[in-house]
Amino acid sequence: MKTLRQKMKGIGPGRRKKVEARTAALIAEEMTLQELRQARRLTQVRIAKVLGISQDGVSRLEKRSDFLLSTLRKTVEAMGGNLSLVAEFPDREPVVLSGIAEAEPEPTPTRRKPAPSHA
């Protein structure tokens, strides 16, 4: 039985380059928040400053498996990205969900009606 290393040595440089590129793409498709931050060459301290939390808070975030979408969106934006939410089904192409992971609109200030004058 051949090892992966032996098999890779047995293929040409062009094919090897394609295999390595596809491997990198597959690995990049799934990352933890910590791996994503590290791939972006960002420190927890830098992300903490952008989010307005402590470095320990970023550490705790990276260990969580359950987030509010707004928290995840803010974290991804702090890394310089945008969050998209995609629904995948076996019988159709993936669907990008809109309006779910987007920033909430700023509340519009309400104006008070002037008090009635008693003249």
Which CATH code is given to the segment(s) 29-104?
A: 1.10.260
Is the whole model's pTM more than 0.85, yes or no? no
Say if residues 69 and 85 touch (Cβ distance below 8 Å). yes
- Distance of alpha carbon 25 from the chain centroid: 16
Determine the 3-state secondary structure of 70 from DSSP.
helix
Return the higher-pLDDT residue of 52 and 1.
52
Angle at 95 between CA 72 and CA 99, to 5 degrees: 50
- Write out pLDDT tens, residues 96-109: 988 876 655 444 45
- Looking at the chain, the number of H-run helices and the number of E-run strands are 6, 2
Task: Provide the sign of the torsion angle of the four alpha carbons 18, 23, 24, 29, taken in this order.
Answer: positive
**What integer is the mean pLDDT of 82-109?**
78
